[in-house]
Structure 1
Amino acid sequence: MSKRHPIIVVTGSSGAGTTTVKTTFDAIFRREGVSAAIIEGDAFHRYSRSEMKLAMAQAELENRHLSHFSPDANEWQELAQQFRAYGETGRCKTRYYLHNESEAAPYGQEPGTFTAWVDTPVDTDLLFYEGLHGCAKTATVDVARHVDLKIGVVPIINLEWIQKIHRDTKSRGYSREAVSDTILRRMHDYVHYICPQFAETDINFQRVPVVDTSNPFIARDIPTAGESMTVIRFRNPRGIDFPYLLSMIPESFMSRANTIVVPGGKMDLAMQLILTPMILRLMEIRRAQMQ
């Protein structure tokens, strides 16, 4: 953690909606004049797409679990090192994983490959990470300890799967059967390396649909925001002005002493109201340290 160079993480599983939440952060940064260096979680995968296929085949022969959720398929030590570098100096390195033709074309590369490592810009106010493993913590690596504000995005699992199936079939060209196989193959690593992160996060945003999602593998549509509620859990509710939030977000209510529930369509508003003061507080502390 660093008072001079703070780090914010949005972490969640594939299909959880972290990219959508990033849009809210972008809006806050733009409105409040905050300059953010950006790191994408996919940059810290260990293998290109072709390499991953070979590594998975070898793991299957050896009766080992291997998926994009597991430590062996990711560079968590490298991620922790880059977080530490930013906290100490205000700069670190990152790269991009090119998912498809449109992302790869500007670089003259094939989809499923990485760009070269580059330095983040100079004179940024904070580092913002969005991806799978921003709060990863094992016996050998602790990414979470470098982070100043940790946000979890955790729709209930059937909704998460529906969102992943629709995204990967429509935007990334995979078949429904291939996406379903991926979900099932990742379950062991999901339980052991994704879920434990949400005990580390400061705030969790969990979307809960109020329509039937009992069979996510045949769902024709993603439940809309209006067909959902969002459960917002604070790890430490001290200092959270719940009466203010309840007054500002219609139809919201508290379900526990550290939990507020808001209509799904008000999730962006809730995030703006909750996160803006937290980001501004990080900036106040940073300015005080820089004097």
Structure 2
Amino acid sequence: MSVKYPVIAVTGSSGAGTSTVRVAFEHMFRRLKINAITVEGDSFHRYDRKEFKSVVAESYDNGQCRPPSHFGPEGNHFDKIASLFQEFGQSGQGHVRHYIHSEEEAEQYGTAPGTFTEFEPIPEGTEVLFYEGLHGGVVHGDVDAASHVDLLVGVVPIVNLEWIQKIHRDVGQRGYTAEAATETILRRMYDYVHYITPQFSLTNVNFQRVPTVDTSNPFIARDIPTPDESFVVIRFRYPKRIDFPYLLQMIQGAFMSRPNTICVPGGKFGMALEIILQPKIERIYEASLQARGVK
């Protein structure tokens, strides 16, 4: 962790909704006039899209029972995530790159979809590093990314809802078949259990969306439950620091389910996110200004 140059990370599985939270953070950074850089977790994949497909196919040909996935260490540079967090926290510097997801991004960055840009230095004057992706709090062997994060936020729907969202996204936006999306879920399961879910025990705040409609068979679901068909369960790692009466007063329909947990209607998620996190960001940023001697 660092006082001068804070690292804020939102971590969550593929299709969990971390991109929506990223937009909310960018709004808060803009309102607070914080010069932040956004780093995408996909930029730390070990292989580009073509290489990864080849590696997976080769693993099947070789009879491997557990092919690599984007959730595990075989498919990612965990060490580079932790190193970037540590370097930025110490000096406000580091090198980042982009993973190109689409044709639109290809036009912007001048390289093909499914590939990476070259590593470039973080711009001078960057005050906060904001990570959004799969492994913001990953711990594996000697790698401990979570130890370098000043505010770690988890975004995780219950697993059936997560699968529904992933299948719909892969089929509707990426052109996969439902069978191919399901196969990916199965291939990732070991890494999901060992490298994704443990992070949610380390988060400062965890947001979990829980539908109030039947999602018992996610592989045949025709649509994604809407926010109004769900609640968001918010768990705080350090509940003594939280003004729960204030939150219950400010968020209509909220209630406490445990001494460290508050539940809010799904439609209030964005509001709850900003009410809870903006004061935390303000405190972190004010401390960084003081540490850097900035008035």
Task: Give TM class, smaller chain.
Answer: over 0.9
Counterparts of residues 202-241 of structure 1 (less than 5 Å): 202-241=204-243
CA distance in structure 2 between the aligned counterparts of 1:287 and 1:20, rounded to whole angstroms: 28
Q: How many Å apart are 1:122 and its aligned residue?
A: 1.4
Q: Kindly tell me the number of residue pairs found equivalent between the two proteins.
A: 291
Specify the alignment match of 1:189 in structure 2.
191
| Residue equivalent to 2:20 | 20
Query: 2:107 and 2:175 mapped to 1: Cα distance?
Result: 16
Match of 1:150 among 149, 152, 165: 152
Question: Which residue of structure 1 aligns with residue 9 of structure 2?
Answer: 9
Report the more deviating stretch, 106-115 or 12-21. 106-115
Report what 2:68 is aligned to: 66
Instruction: Give the SS at the match of 2:153.
Output: strand
CA distance in 2, matches of 1:220, 1:120: 43
Alignment of 1:81 with 2:83, yes or no, is yes
Partner residue of 2:179 out of 174, 177, 180 = 177
Aligned counterpart for 1:166 among listed residues 153, 160, 168: 168
Quick one: distance in 2 between partners of 1:184 and 1:249?
38
Matched to 1:40, the amino acid is: E
Residue 115 of structure 1: how far off its partner (Å):
0.9
**Residues 65, 189 of structure 1: 8 Å contact kept:** no
- The C-alpha deviation readout for 1:254-280, integer Å capped at 9, x for no partner, is 000000000000011111110010000
Q: 1:62 offset after TM fit, Å? A: 4.9
Structure 2, gaps ≥5 residues long: none
Asked whether the 8 Å contact 1:162–1:222 carries over to 2, the reply is: yes
Relative to structure 2, which stretch is displaced further, 177-186 or 104-113? Answer: 104-113
RMSD, aligned CA: 1.1
Whether the 8 Å CA contact 1:100–1:172 is kept in 2: the answer is no
State the distance in 1 between where 2:102 and 2:140 align.
31
Runs of 4+ more than 3 Å apart: none
Specify which of 70, 92, 108 is matched with residue 90 of structure 1. 92
How far, CA to CA, are the matches of 1:175 and 1:118 in structure 2?
Answer: 36
Please give the alpha-carbon distance, in whole angstroms, between the structure 2 residues aligned to 1:122 and 1:219.
Answer: 47
Query: 2:116: which partner in 1?
Result: 114
TM-score normalised by L of structure 1: 0.97
Aligned equivalents of 2:241 and 2:170: distance in 1? 40
Q: Structure 2: how far apart are the matches of 1:118 and 1:173?
A: 31
TM-score, normalized by length of structure 2?
0.96
Q: Secondary structure at the match of 2:140?
A: coil
In 2, Cα distance between equivalents of 1:259 and 1:236: 10
Match of 1:40? Answer: 40
Q: Distance in 2 between matches of 1:226 and 1:236?
A: 28
Range moving further from structure 2, 34-43 or 119-128 = 119-128
CA deviations over 1:184-212 (Å, ceiling 9, x no partner): 11111100110111111111000000011
The C-alpha deviation readout for 1:61-110, integer Å capped at 9, x for no partner, is 15244101010110111111111111111121111111222222333322
Aligned mates of 1:129, 1:29 — CA distance in 2: 13
- Which of these residues, 112, 120, 131, is aligned with residue 129 of structure 1? 131
- 1:269 aligned to 253, 271, 293, which one? 271
